[in-house]
Amino acid sequence: MKKILFVLSVIAAFIMFGVTPSKNNITPYTLTEAQPISEIAAGPKILVLNYHQIKDTPSYLSVHVDDFDAQMNYLVENGYIAITPDALLSALEGELELPPKPVLITFDDGYIDNYENAFPILQKYGLRATIFVIAAFVGKEGYMDWEHLIEMEENGITMQSHTLNHIALEELPDDGLRVELLNSKLMLEEKLGHSVDFVAYPTGTYNLHIAAIAKEVGYRGAFTIKYGNVDLGSNFFALERVPIFRTPTTMKDFYERISYRQSFEEFGWIKK
Ligand SMILES: [Zn+2]
């Protein structure tokens, strides 16, 4: 029964998201070819949450501060262990065994409220997180500056790339793609002093060509807003996430989204 459900959900994802990049020759990872569905189903299911803003002023991208606190409390109370993107990749490569309920908590864009509102809550619960920063926006009004980023990194929050200027990548020629992907990586590496191995595609849009360039400039993996868990069938350059935004009643929606209980056709995120 589980297998049937899995196959149905895969088919549903194909229908919803059109071309699936899951099986192609971009990733070096050995499990992509003829990976039996039973092995994928038996492998780890990694929940990757995608937040943007944590603040009480409602917006398309925001989650209320109290709701975010309740969501982090839920994760801790229910035995989730927060991991890094490195650990996620190592698990997919078969080099690391993850805890039973892994969660990768991610934020996109690098808004100042991540520092002011989310960071204290993450620290309160001892949770790691990853922020995909728009490199050229660091220090601009409404965004965190380098000191914020460095302080957070010293406390378990990892910075990765959300490109240089947050331009929809599908609109760019190859040289523009390389600038957006590579220069952001180099800038973050220089300012933060560690390698930047992951990128989240701005607006979540990507295609196989963009993924190939992301790999070419040195990333090891890339995150989308394709709704789902990461598992052994995931492509390293099209990693799934569960969006926690566009929701007025976030605790209820949070639970439903991480449980895959409800369809979100209105957002184009899932169809069961
Ligand atoms: Zn973004």
pLDDT tens string, the chain, 272 residues long: the values are: 444 544 444 444 433 333 333 333 333 333 344 556 666 666 778 999 999 999 998 888 999 999 999 999 999 999 999 999 999 999 999 899 999 899 999 999 999 999 999 999 999 999 999 999 999 999 999 999 999 999 999 999 999 999 999 999 998 999 999 999 999 999 999 999 999 999 999 987 889 999 999 999 999 999 998 888 999 899 999 999 998 977 666 677 888 888 865 455 555 554 32
> How far apart are the CA of 35 and the centre of ligand 1, in A?
32
The whole-angstrom separation of Cα 41 and Cα 82 is: 21
Strands 221-227 and 198-200: parallel
Distances (CA, A) of 108 to 22, 178, 223: 23, 20, 10
**Ligand 1 centroid distance, CA of 109 (Å):** 5
DSSP annotation string for 255-270: HHHHHT-S--GGGTS-
CA of 197 to the centre of ligand 1 (A): 17
| Alpha-carbon span 209 to 1, nearest angstrom | 36
Check residue 101 and give its pLDDT: 92
Tokens linked to 36: 């039996």
Q: Is residue 158 part of a domain?
A: yes
- The pLDDT assigned to 43 comes to 74
Q: Is residue 269 part of a domain?
A: no
Report how far ligand 1's centroid is from the alpha carbon of 202 (Å).
5
What's the confidence (pLDDT) of residue 30?
37
- Looking at the chain, the number of H-run helices and the number of E-run strands are 11, 10
166 CA distance to ligand 1 middle (Å)? 6
Q: How far is the CA of 13 from the centre of ligand 1 (A)?
A: 22
C-alpha 39 to ligand 1 mean position (Å): 33
Q: How far is CA 152 from CA 76, 119, 130, in A?
A: 20, 7, 10
Among 81, 19, 78, CA closest to 226: 19
β partners of residue 144: none
- Structural contact between residues 210 and 177, judged by C-beta atoms closer than 8 angstroms: yes
Q: How far is the CA of 94 from the centre of ligand 1 (A)?
A: 30
Q: How far is the CA of 56 from the centre of ligand 1 (A)?
A: 19
Residue 225 lies in a domain: yes
Q: How far is the CA of 168 from the centre of ligand 1 (A)?
A: 9
Task: Give the separation between CA 252 and CA 272, rounded to whole angstroms.
Answer: 19
Cα separation, 106 vs 51, in Å, equals 6
Contacts of 39 (CB under 8 A, 6+ apart): 31, 232
- Is residue 194 included in any domain, yes or no? yes
Ligand 1 centre to CA of 30 (Å) is 30
What is the 203 CA–ligand 1 centroid distance (Å)?
Answer: 5
Inside any domain, residue 60: yes
Contact 73, 127 (CB under 8 A): no
Q: With respect to residue 3, please indicate whether it lies within any of the assigned structural domains.
A: no
Residue 248: its pLDDT value, please? 62
CA of 52 to the centre of ligand 1 (A): 8
How many whole angstroms from 236 Cα to the centroid of ligand 1? 19
Q: Who surrounds ion ligand 1 at CB < 5 A?
A: 108-109, 202
Distance, in Å, from the CA atom of 146 to the CA atom of 128, rounded to the nearest integer, reads 19
Single pTM value for the model: 0.83
Compute, in angstroms, the gap from residue 261 CA to the centroid of ligand 1.
26
Domain CATH number, residue 189: 3.20.20.370
Q: Is residue 1 part of a domain?
A: no
Contact 138, 114 (CB under 8 A): no
Distance 204 CA to ligand 1 centre (A): 8
CA–centroid distance, residue 14 to ligand 1 (Å): 24
Beta-strand runs (E) in the chain: 47-51, 53-54, 62-63, 81-82, 102-109, 129-133, 157-161, 198-200, 221-227, 239-243
Neighbour count for residue 264 (Cβ, 10 Å): 19
Write out the residue range of the structural domain in which residue 158 sits: 45-261
Residue 249 has what pLDDT?
63
Task: Examine residue 26 and state whether it is found in any structural domain, yes or no.
Answer: no
How many domains in the chain?
1
Expressed in angstroms and rounded, the spacing between residue 105 Cα and the centre of ligand 1 is 15
